[in-house]
Amino acid sequence: MHTGQTASWSELLWGRNGLRSLALAGGVALHAVNMYVVTTILPSVVADIGGLEYYAWNLTLFVAASILGSALSPKVIDSWGVRTGFLVAIAIFAIGTIGCALAPSMPWLLVARTAQGLGGGMLLGLSYASVRLVFEERLWPLAMVLVSSMWGVATLGGPAVGGIFAQTGHWRLAFWSILPGCVVLAVLVLTQLSRSGGRAARPSRPPLGKIALLVLAVMVVSFSSLSRDLVWNVLGILGGLAVTVIIVRMDLTASVPLLPTGSYRISGVLGSAYACICLLSIGATTEIYIPYFLQLIHGQSPLMAGYWTAALSAGWTTGSFISSRRTGVAAQRFILAGPVVSAASLAMLAVLMPIAGLSEGGRTAWVILLPLFGVGVGIGLCWPLLLTRVYRAAPAGQENIGSAAITTLQLFAMAMGAAVAGMVTNAAGFTDPGGLEGAKSAARALFVVVACAPALAAVLSRGVRRA
């Protein structure tokens, strides 16, 4: 074991630590590859089995179920330990994946995606929470970069798998191709993670009531997004916000909180960090629509559209590596710069994506790659710094809750973002009139609205920057 105070990549990636790192990173990688496969093949799926009006629901239901899985991860660790918890999550995820491959209709696919989301959410929550349990504190920042970078690694395989199967008309095989990854991860977990690691003498009780309300808030907004009536859209958003306020009021006096003490004070470290995590995650939800816009507006093939979309996660990984070792004033600057870069990049997409002329005359709209990459870079520049501050600021005895809350809030924000995105795009003409003009109008409206989220994160980052 290394005894020096400075952590190194070789220490994290060599020997037993290396295999443990692979197991934890594999949980995120499996979830991330699946996300890119589905994002890439979804236009082909809709063309085959219908359900364009439920396009965003593939992400909304997946992420809503992931919220439940992620929020249950502290209870899973306390009761079963890290190893058994991972194996249960892998099994649920695999069952959902098989259901997706067999789906004859959109309702069937949405049910299967919900099962996938439950298992995937558990995988994410366990992966992030286990960093604190498996590694020494000085290795946490590097381990968080490694785990988070799996979103970027997934950009190499996910779009390729989804794109190839979509272009050949065999989108179901894309789901079947994910199952070998489940087997490999299960073997790693069985051989490298401790059976009792993380188990508590007195397992905590999960706040199931508040978790259910989180999912309810998402579903209220999602259902209202199906209507083309602006009044119902507004009522849905207000209803979702009302449920969220109820959750906060319940959590402030709860004996078993959903978020650790201090999380609702925006001027504090935890409150500021969690707010930034939520708002930056909303910015990333535009990914689900980008392949559709690229294929319809710019004539890109499913494979190429998938890889262009993956530029966002590639940027996220790049930004994470740039910021991973930053401390002091430099870290404060990165935490502020990240949301600004992300917001500016989304604003650029609002201008460039609707311009079909960028791809006319045999030209390619390569200029769109820059803001796509920039959205991810902005998130990555501050992401590892935000997460390690949450780890260190969590009150004693609430460390598992604090680390699991990262994924819970990230997924909640993504689900709400997807629901609002569905509402914005439908209102802007995504399905009516639809077609090229509908896609161009929807793209413009979507990126303008979503750009406001990271812009707000820059304003609210003051508390965590002062840590």
Structure tokens at 27: 């949980």
Contact (CB, 8 A) for 380 and 338: yes
pLDDT at 115: 94
The CATH H-level superfamily of 16-198+205-465 is MFS general substrate transporter like domains (1.20.1250.20)
Predicted pLDDT of residue 38 = 86
Residues 6+ apart with CB under 8 A from 299: 359
> Which residue from 283, 294, 288, 216 is spatially nearest to 59, judged by alpha carbons?
288
Contacts of 51 (CB under 8 A, 6+ apart): 105, 106, 109
pLDDT of residue 392: 84
pLDDT for 184 = 93
Query: CA-CA distance, 118 to 121, in Å (whole number)?
Result: 5
Give the phi and the psi of residue 254 in degrees, each rounded to 5: -80, 145
Residue holding tokens 């395989």? 157
Q: Which amino acid is at 10?
A: S
Place of tokens 């397992």: 203
> Residues in the chain with pLDDT < 50?
1-4, 201
Residue 152's pLDDT is what?
A: 65
* pLDDT tens-place string over residues 104-137: 999 999 999 999 999 998 998 888 888 878 887 7
pLDDT confidence of residue 342: 96
Contacts 24+ apart (CB under 8 A), 424-433: 424/449, 425/56, 425/289, 426/53, 426/225, 426/226, 426/228, 427/228, 427/230, 427/233, 430/55, 431/52, 431/53, 432/228
